[in-house]
Structure 1
Amino acid sequence: MYRLSSWLLRATVTLHAIMAIAQPFSMGEYLDGVIGALTWHAAIGGSLFLVTGLAGTASLVLVLQRAPLRLLVPPTVLFVAEIAQIALGGARVLAIHIPLGVAIIGASVWWAWWVWRPATARRRVPARLQAVPPLAPADTSGQHVVAR
């Protein structure tokens, strides 16, 4: 189950990054005169936070299976930023919408890189289950020797 959840997280975060990267291209097409591109821009942006929600759910499942709690930070921050981005885009507040979009793209690419690192989804081991090194026997000088 842990491995399946890890792959689900990686797949949704990768999809998220691809969708975020597509956003400036769809807007560029609109600025070139392709009227339907604005519809694509709105559709991708409107569904981006849903993909973030799926990735957040996969992160939560992993955390419940002893993955690091830090897995919950990126989806939470991006979910809030994307809701704000949708509201700002709909209100045509481009002075904030465009820089926030650039930040979301950067964060999405970073998040995709981060979840593909092997150490990211490694399980937490509770302190009570961690191996405790044995006490080293004392030598005649009163100093401890290193146990091998």
Structure 2
Amino acid sequence: RVNLAGVLDAQGNAGTGSASSGNFSIDTKPPEVTVTISDERLTAGETATVTFTFRESVTGFGTEDIQYDTSKGTLSALTAVGTDGKVWSATYTPRPNTESATNTIRVNLAGVLDAQGNAGTGSASSGNFSIDTKPPEVTV
């Protein structure tokens, strides 16, 4: 917005009122994601849904951005939830004969872009979950 009072043209005529630009938006925030897992205690025969919820629509998000210990489980392909590009899900399946109390699923945001072209930075992790798919053992 420009206040024209006090502005003179070449002939000395004073301006009046004000002039405004059209409306515009500013977005310099990088993409952010929240990672959740539907089951925090996985046992034999169970799977869990992992949900990746971005605060805005993103592009460039794929399984190559997801980090987890593949020796303890596998993650299915990503599926878009809805059509707005904000929410994705995948199924996590723990491997047999695994006992692990400390597990997370992390997203590396470096390759993820929002609609304005802002690149993600850093990473975001799920909460901790445990895996116990090892059958009980008896020593006699």
Give your verdict on TM over 0.5: no
Give 1 or 2: higher helix fraction: 1
TM-score (norm 1): 0.26
Q: Higher Cα Rg: structure 1 or 2?
A: 2
Give 1 or 2: higher strand fraction: 2
TM-score (norm 2): 0.27
